[in-house]
């Protein structure tokens, strides 16, 4: 699985003009299941992100995890994280992404594992055309890929 985590002071996702998920301080997590991924990858990724220490401590260092700052997560499925590069053309391919049924099940597992860690988790709508707005804090953006663990 792949995830792009952005430290935010606020984030929101809307579908057809309706807010489906919204948070204040926390992480906006764009997440994609890849072909061959299993619940082991979803669980590992959720645990890794839940423990990620990228909030400032009293000394100004990125040293605090999400729970220490009462932060929340907005998890948004994004199959385009599976894009191959445009090395041989100008249109990316997404064939490395898991199929819709697998992808949705792993996205749900990822969210459930985060919630099981005691985090507040807001969500987008899997497979929907979503509008995501955020205020990136820092900016701080971190890339995770279970293939590199």
> How confident is the model over 92-147, as pLDDT tens digits?
888 889 999 999 999 999 999 999 999 999 999 999 999 999 999 999 999 999 99
Number of domains in the chain: 1
Statement: residue 85 has pLDDT above 90: no
* Positive/negative CA dihedral, 51, 142, 9, 127: negative
Statement: residue 87 has pLDDT above 70: no
Q: Are 28 and 18 in contact (CB under 8 A)?
A: no
Q: Is 78 a catalytic residue?
A: yes
Domain containing 92: what range? 2-148
Of the candidates 110, 96, 120, the residue with the CA atom closest to the CA atom of residue 23: 120
Statement: residue 84 has pLDDT above 90: no
> How confident is the model over 1-23, as pLDDT tens digits?
999 999 999 999 999 999 999 99
Among residues 20, 27, 55, 78, the one annotated as catalytic is 78
Q: How far apart are alpha carbons 146 and 149 in whole angstroms?
A: 5
Statement: residue 86 has pLDDT above 70: no
User: What CATH number is given to the structural domain containing 43?
Assistant: 3.50.80.10
Neighbouring residues of 75: CB distance < 8 A, sequence distance ≥ 6: 21, 29, 31, 107, 110, 111, 114, 121, 122, 123, 124
Among residues 67, 80, 94, 141, the one annotated as catalytic is 80
Mean pLDDT of 37-59: 97
Q: Are 144 and 5 in contact (CB under 8 A)?
A: yes
Q: Is 79 a catalytic residue?
A: yes
Q: Is 55 a catalytic residue?
A: no
| Helix residue ranges per DSSP H, the chain | 39-51, 100-116
pTM, to two decimals = 0.95
Among residues 27, 55, 79, 110, the one annotated as catalytic is 79
Confidence of residue 91 (pLDDT cuts 50, 70, 90): confident
Three-state secondary structure string covering 27-69: EEEEEECECCCCHHHHHHHHHHHHHCEEEECCCCCEEEEHHHH
């Amino acid at each position: 699985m792949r995830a792009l985590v952005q430290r935010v002071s606020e984030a929101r996702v809307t579908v057809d003009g309706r807010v489906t998920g919204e948070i204040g301080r926390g992480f906006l997590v764009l997440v994609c299941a890849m072909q061959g991924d299993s619940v082991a990858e979803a669980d590992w990724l959720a645990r890794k992100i839940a423990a990620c220490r990228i909030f400032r401590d009293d000394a100004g260092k990125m040293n605090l995890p999400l729970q220490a700052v009462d932060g929340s997560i907005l998890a948004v499925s994004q199959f385009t994280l599976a894009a191959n590069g445009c090395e041989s053309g100008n249109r990316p391919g997404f064939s490395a992404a898991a199929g819709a049924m697998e992808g949705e099940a792993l996205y749900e597992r990822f969210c459930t594992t985060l919630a099981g860690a005691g985090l507040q988790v807001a969500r987008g709508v899997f497979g929907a055309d979503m509008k995501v707005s955020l205020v990136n804090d820092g900016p701080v953006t971190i890339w995770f890929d279970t293939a590199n663990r």
